[in-house]
Structure 1
Amino acid sequence: MAAPELPEEIIHAINLLPLEAAAITGPLETTWAALSAEEQTELRHLGSAFAAHWAHIACVSPFARQLLLRHPHWLPRLARGGHSDLATSHGLSSDVFLANLRQYRNARMVEIIWQDRQPGEHYPETVAALSELAEICLQQAYAYGVEMLRQRHGIPRNDDGQEVPFTILGMGKLGGRELNLSSDIDLIFCYGEDGETDGPIPLDNSTYFQRLGRWLIQALDQRTADGFCFRVDMRLRPFGDAAPLCISVAAMEQYYQVHGRGWERYAFIKARPVAGDLALGQNLLHTLRPFVYRRYLDYTALTGLREVKALMDAEQGGSSNDIKKGQGGIREIEFVCQSLQIIHGGRQPALRSTNTLDTLAAIASAGLLPADDTDRLRRAYLFLRNTEHCLQMVDDQQTQQLPHSELEWQRLACGMGFPDVMTMRETLDTFRQQNHVIFQRTLASGKDDRQGKNSNGEKLWQRAQTAALETAPSDLLQVLRFTAPEAIWTRLWRFAHSRDVASRLSTEGRQRLNRLLPLALDLGSAQPDTDAWLQRFLTLIEAILGHANYLALLAENPPYLMRIAELLHSPWLAQELARFPILLDDVL
């Protein structure tokens, strides 16, 4: 019969812990007593290293401690470095399938935590294992859901009778293969095209895939007696919570072409097919690549990033307790990476990685940041992500909040391998301060200096928006070298008050137009054919009012505006650009 007493080496390891020795002893005694004599003998032979690590895990992760209390026979497998397998789902009821999936997830989580807190740096292996776990759970839930739906409704097909595929895009940290220990998984569901299923109870494809999507969320997110697999967040899909769970490829392409917003470009940097038909997902992302990465150096992206960061700062309310969203936190490092990806990724494909550490390496290789900065950011990112994992392994909670009690600070310092809390906090503060300096420097690099403010072009554009048509500012028109001032004034005034300008521009689009027109008016005064040039320029702008990216390109990048100035000397080329604005991608 197995002896209940803990070996001396394990008792000694518990007594060396900085906190909760008494609270830890009981669960470890119970776990040990539940093992067979053979299992106990195997673990005794592993000596003090095993004893110290088991005690350490019990201290830093009460979540793992409780699971091992419920499943003591996992302990020998952990000590051997074993890996749990997921039982087959074929023929199981949905309740049994969901229970198996959750039990597999819990077993793998304990295995990952056990390995993560071994001596040395294990962050890359940990996030890869967590991302793989999410993909396995997704794919298993997808396969089970498809089999369940096909029994009643058959196979979704298009009008030609071909089977219609379905793909799941992983966004955020799942897309980057850098999932944390207790993370939401951000998903987007998409199916090939409309049609109908061919089973005994037919459904249109849209309804069929909505049901599949709801099943997937239930399979992963629903809490049962065995817990949950992963919290699912669908808010990154087109139109967010107001939209159906699944949309077709054509609808998705249309959305990002017409409605795509700046923050969605950042989101799609990390998009990756993770389950379902992976080829469909890859083809979709290839089609959407021009939405994310522009062919030109796209400094306009920094405006959107500043706005997102300002909202985050307002949400934090000056608190420094959040290591993700707070000053110098994980998000600032990710923003540095993503801003440089958006700006330069159109011309440098090596920057188009979904993974943060890989992106930092590509940024260093391309020389986009000083080598010292990329090295600091890499070390800080590893430190902060490991800190995040230590916070989350306590109770399997999605938190990035630093502790509020001295006891939890001691637990965190212990998990991170620091001898005391003060050293841990000093190291954390140093990394965050360095991060924030680099982050501010990166955002400042693209700020608008507005050299033309209060210039003659600025004054004329303000008058065109506010003055009556009958009150042409002859002095300004002459200073700007227009030879037919009355005609130019009429053209400019009518443009400023046109229905297109009033109805087709967002607030951001209006701001860009107000930045662009003064620059163009000043630039036009230096052209040999000032009047004709401005007429062609306004015609071009009318053509691109509905294309926010082109308007931003000219408003934010003076070199491209200069290039357009040269091209508009050709009446034929000016006409073609106005007819086919997409040509701007080629000529710039």
Structure 2
Amino acid sequence: MSDQPAILPQPILDALACSRFLRRQLDSRPWLAERLAASIGAPLDATALRDYLRDEKVDDNTLKPVLRKLRAWVIAHVMVRDIAHLADLTEVTETMTLLADIAVEATHDVLRAQLVARHGTPLSADGREQEFIIIGMGKLGGRELNVSSDIDLIFVYPEDGSTAGPKIIDNFEFFTKLGRGLIQAINDITGDGQVFRVDMRLRPNGESGPLVASFDMLENYFITQGREWERYAWIKARVMTGIRSAELTAISRPFIFRKYLDFGAINAMRDLHAQIRREVARKDMVNNVKLGPGGIREIEFLAQVFQLIRGGRDTSLQIKPTLKVLGRLAERGIITHEADRELAAAYDFLRRVEHRLQYLDDAQTHNLPTEPADQAIIARSMGFGSYEALLTELDDHRSAVARHFNSVFGDPNEKGHDLDTLWACAGDEARCGEEFQRLGYPDPAAAARRLATLKTGNR
């Protein structure tokens, strides 16, 4: 670290005590400490990130290393400000979302220019230029990205046709090439690291479906095959590139939001609730702040289900950030103001714990540590004198979340079915096979495979 400033600012020193990842970054990137010391006094914005790419002269040859250097700076900046209590949760998640947006934007621009030079501009049958529309899903779509998150993307283009040459290909192939190149540029692990893990499984037909879809393909999928959980996922969808987002919204909105009060979704969502409840009961989920009992997922699920049921009639609920949705629900008396306050406080606390778990080693983890040394680090970074004190407040928040979650979805007439566990574990061949064996099936492994195929099939 000889090239670093002789004396690091106190916020950086505080963060170093809470992050092995930051230590590794500063050791391996001599330029980072000086840039970090100069930037941590204020939040980063889109202009600062774009200026960095411009100054580094990002192009075909430098795209991958420059994006990874940008990521190293941004995550270190966020980490230092967060641990020093200079940034609130909104700043942290917005900055990480900006990083994803600008990395995707820059990659798209560089790779599209390459393909246009080789194949010409993609055009519709009547000669209109076609754009590549990248949709951010999940926390990326809601501008709630965590510090070690993957990004969920869907790729769409408006109309079929072909390129203008010199080497003519159809639009589907052009945009498939662009999509694959974008995934590689952002997802690949190089000597400089990785920008984001890219997950494409939310696209129509999942991993078995084409990488890109035209507007017509997407609309047909929604009408003929779209499922309730996909409506739930598309609530968070946000267009990141392209100017024809209004047309895309016109296709997706009728699928997501019904014009009538959508009681038909209630049973489907109650089934999902029951599945979540069974999953959080597993012993290995007890210490998971996202998927465990009273975790982040339960808050998000509660907010989005009300959007799904009522959003078609009440368009003010067609928003994406979780905390804003909870506020709107309280304003309309759908949940109490007390529930809003408790859920919002729990969401803030759980997300900040989640980030500190990920600061340790830049791992996509949501599990509380088992090592006493790491437990002490997490407690200190959250401002607690001991890990036990942290757990006390954490348990209070999780209890409140679980109480509200179960009160919303509880069915007074609900009775568990003997086959609930079997259906819940479909896809886990070993566990499912044990259940079939218990039920007396002569070939439990084959039955487990057939059930998994049924559950994951489009029909």
Q: Tell me the TM-score normalized by structure 2.
A: 0.84
Q: Of 238, 241, 252, which aligns to 1:288?
A: 252
Q: Of 372, 384, 395, which aligns to 2:338?
A: 372
| 1:258 aligned residue | 224
Give 3-state SS (helix, strand or coil) of 2:156's partner. strand
CA distance in 1, matches of 2:190, 2:254: 43
Superposed CA deviations along residues 136-172 of structure 1, whole A, max 9, x for unmatched, are 0000000011011111111111111111122011000
Q: Of 58, 61, 75, which aligns to 2:16?
A: 58
Give 3-state SS (helix, strand or coil) of 1:60's partner. coil
Note if contact 2:286-2:292 (Cα within 8 Å) is conserved in structure 1: yes
Note if contact 1:169-1:281 (Cα within 8 Å) is conserved in structure 2: no
Note if contact 2:14-2:84 (Cα within 8 Å) is conserved in structure 1: no
Superposed CA deviations along residues 160-205 of structure 1, whole A, max 9, x for unmatched, are 1111122011000000000000111111100011111011111011
* Letter of the 2:361 counterpart: D
Deviation of the 1:303 alpha carbon: 2.4
CA distance in 1, matches of 2:110, 2:381: 38
* Letter of the 1:198 counterpart: A
Gap runs ≥5 in structure 1: 1-30, 45-49, 451-506, 509-547, 549-588
Q: State the Cα RMSD in Å.
A: 2.3
CA distance in 2, matches of 1:153, 1:169: 24
CA distance in 2, matches of 1:182, 1:398: 5
Note if contact 1:113-1:393 (Cα within 8 Å) is conserved in structure 2: yes
| 1:308 aligned residue | 272
| 2:449 aligned residue | none
CA distance in 1, matches of 2:14, 2:303: 34
Deviation of the 1:62 alpha carbon: 1.1
Q: Does 1:348 align with 2:314?
A: yes
| 1:243 aligned residue | 209
Q: Of 233, 238, 259, which aligns to 2:199?
A: 233
Q: Tell me: CA distance 1:73–1:212, structure 2 relative to 1, closer, same or farther (3 Å).
A: closer
CA distance in 2, matches of 1:427, 1:449: 32
CA distance in 1, matches of 2:261, 2:58: 54
Note if contact 1:273-1:282 (Cα within 8 Å) is conserved in structure 2: no
Q: Does 1:81 align with 2:81?
A: no
Note if contact 2:107-2:185 (Cα within 8 Å) is conserved in structure 1: yes
Higher relative contact order (CA 8 A, sep 6+): 2
Note if contact 2:36-2:73 (Cα within 8 Å) is conserved in structure 1: no
Give 3-state SS (helix, strand or coil) of 2:360's partner. coil
Give 3-state SS (helix, strand or coil) of 1:168's partner. strand
| 2:62 aligned residue | 96
Gap runs ≥5 in structure 2: 416-453
CA distance in 2, matches of 1:89, 1:206: 34
What aligned pairs does 1:166-245 form with structure 2 within 5 A after superposition? 166-245=132-211
CA distance in 1, matches of 2:305, 2:227: 15
Q: Tell me the TM-score normalized by structure 1.
A: 0.66
Q: Of 18, 26, 29, which aligns to 1:71?
A: 29
What aligned pairs does 1:435-454 form with structure 2 within 5 A after superposition? 435-444=401-410
Note if contact 2:60-2:111 (Cα within 8 Å) is conserved in structure 1: no
Deviation of the 1:120 alpha carbon: 5.7
| 2:349 aligned residue | 383
Q: Tell me: CA distance 1:191–1:90, structure 2 relative to 1, closer, same or farther (3 Å).
A: farther
CA distance in 1, matches of 2:212, 2:55: 25
Note if contact 1:168-1:281 (Cα within 8 Å) is conserved in structure 2: no
* Letter of the 1:115 counterpart: R
Larger radius of gyration: 1
Q: Of 124, 128, 137, which aligns to 1:162?
A: 128
Deviation of the 1:314 alpha carbon: 4.6
CA distance in 2, matches of 1:439, 1:298: 19
CA distance in 2, matches of 1:382, 1:273: 26
Superposed CA deviations along residues 259-308 of structure 1, whole A, max 9, x for unmatched, are 11000111011011012x0x323421233212111122223323223333
| 2:361 aligned residue | 395
How many pairs does the alignment contain? 408
Deviation of the 1:370 alpha carbon: 1.1
Note if contact 2:326-2:344 (Cα within 8 Å) is conserved in structure 1: yes
Q: Does 1:129 align with 2:87?
A: no
State the percentage of identical aligned residues: 37
| 1:433 aligned residue | 399
Give 3-state SS (helix, strand or coil) of 1:394's partner. helix
CA distance in 2, matches of 1:89, 1:153: 29
| 1:338 aligned residue | 304
Superposed CA deviations along residues 423-442 of structure 1, whole A, max 9, x for unmatched, are 00111111111100100011
Give 3-state SS (helix, strand or coil) of 2:203's partner. coil
